[in-house]
Amino acid sequence: MNIFIDTNIFLSFYHFSNDDLEELNKLSLLLQQGKTKLYLPEQVAQEFRRNRDNKIADALKQLREQKLDLRFPQFCKEYDEYENLRQLQRNYSKLHAELIKKAIEDIQAENLKADKVIHDLFENGIAIPENKAINELARNRLAIGNPPGKNGSLGDALNWEALLESIPNGDNLYFLTDDKDYASPIDANVFNTYLFQEWKTRKKSEIVFFRSLSEFFKEHFPKISLASETEKDSDIQSLANSSSFVETHIVIGKLNKHSDFTIAQVNAIIDAAITNNQVHWIISDPDVNDFISKVVAGKESKLNQANLVQLFSIMSSDLPSAPGPDELPF
């Protein structure tokens, strides 16, 4: 499945969007599984880098303006609720300022969750470098007056020509954008007729148009699990299948990046620890021990008790020495 995502979709995750960041995580997972291919014209990457800060600046401006400005008539001051509300107002102002401060630090460090996911998408996508032929075709398109594009802007035309050049003939393209330049002037939910026919004629395939990631997933992957949960399950399975101490440490590092685990997932982690000797032979290593202790803590009464007893026995016992370097199953 070939996908193109316009810059405005990526930038929406730095502003006020109806799509949750989890939608991008889902796409990242599909790319890793080889179920989709994300085509990235160079213009998209450049436009994203140019506009990220401007998009965030506008969102921050609106966030700063969200003041809790409560005003009370004089007679309200004699009630206990008045002072409680004033205290809530002071707390809001303090937390609001702290939120903005922390956000700005992550923004400047490019450490927002959106930054990380989009970086991974750009790394795993199929880059389409701009070249002289694409540039010339885009300029000719703009000069003639053919869509897409507006007000002398070349960007949309560059993207379109890059996609025409790169998508294999006969392959449909799932086209995600909220840019009206690609939409029908009659109905914004329908792809531009001229562009649709051009694609159909030249590529012997069709454009499938969506205005948001959530619409795309609802239509084509309605039952997909939350990407974060699927990723956890995949990492836990990797722990169970680990065939070396080195691999175990790597997988533990990946699992440590997740914030929480379900009871079923913790039971699966415990099972991996007690059945795979590449885990329990190094269970006293700080990273392995700390991780398993952390995910079990507070959930003891809800876990498989027989496995939990066995786990605690392994963690507290003097284990036999691990194999020497010549015996390691690398």
Per-residue pLDDT, 228: 63
Backbone angles phi, psi at 97, to 5 degrees: -65, -40
Residue ranges per structural domain of the chain: 2-62+117-220, 227-327
Residue 232: predicted pLDDT: 85
In the chain, which residues have pLDDT < 50? 318-330
At 324 the pLDDT is 46
> What gap in Å lies between CA 20 and CA 26, rounded to an integer?
10
pLDDT of residue 321: 44
Taking 3-state DSSP, the helix, strand and coil percentages for the chain, each rounded to the nearest 5, stand at 60, 5, 30
Q: Which two tokens stand for residue 66?
A: 């969200």
Contact 9, 177 (CB under 8 A): yes
Phi-psi group of 110: left, alpha or beta (phi > 0 → left; psi -120 to 50 → alpha; rest → beta): left
Q: Classify domain 2-62+117-220 at the CATH class level.
A: alpha beta
Q: What angle do CA 40, 46, 52 make, to 5 degrees?
A: 105
Instruction: Please give the pLDDT value at position 223.
Output: 67
- The string of DSSP letters for 213-274 reads HHHHHHHH-TTPPPHHHHHHHHHHHHHHT--SHHHHHHHHHHHTT-----HHHHHHHHHHHH
* DSSP track, 117-168: HHHHHHHHSEEE---HHHHHHHHHHHHHTPSS--TT--HHHHHHHHHHHHSP
Edge to edge, the sheet with strand 2-5 lists: 126-128, 37-41, 2-5, 173-176, 207-210
pLDDT on residue 222: 75
CA 160 to chain centre: 25
Q: Quote the pLDDT of residue 206.
A: 95
- Give the Cα separation of 16 and 195 in Å (integer): 29
From the CB of residue 183, how many other CB atoms can be counted at a distance below 10 Å? 20
Give this prediction's pTM.
0.69
pLDDT of residue 323: 46
What is d(CA 135, CA 148) in angstroms, rounded to the nearest whole number? 14
Give the closest residue to 172 by CA, choosing from 39, 9, 319: 39
Distances from the Cα of 74 to the Cα of 71, 77, 78, 86, 167, angstroms = 9, 6, 8, 13, 69
Pairing of the two strands 2-5 and 173-176: parallel
Distance CA 155, CA 140 (A): 13
The interaxial angle of helices 155-166 and 42-64, nearest 10 deg, is 140
CA 164 to chain centre: 27
Instruction: Express each pLDDT in 61-102 by its tens digit.
Output: 999 999 888 889 999 999 999 999 999 999 999 999 999 999
Buried b (16+ CB within 10 A) or exposed e, 187-204: eeeebbeebbebbeeebe
Give the residue among 4, 224, 27, 6 at the shortest CA–CA distance from 126.
4
Concatenated DSSP letters of 166-177: HSPTT--EEEE-
The single residue listed with the structure tokens 């703009």 is 142
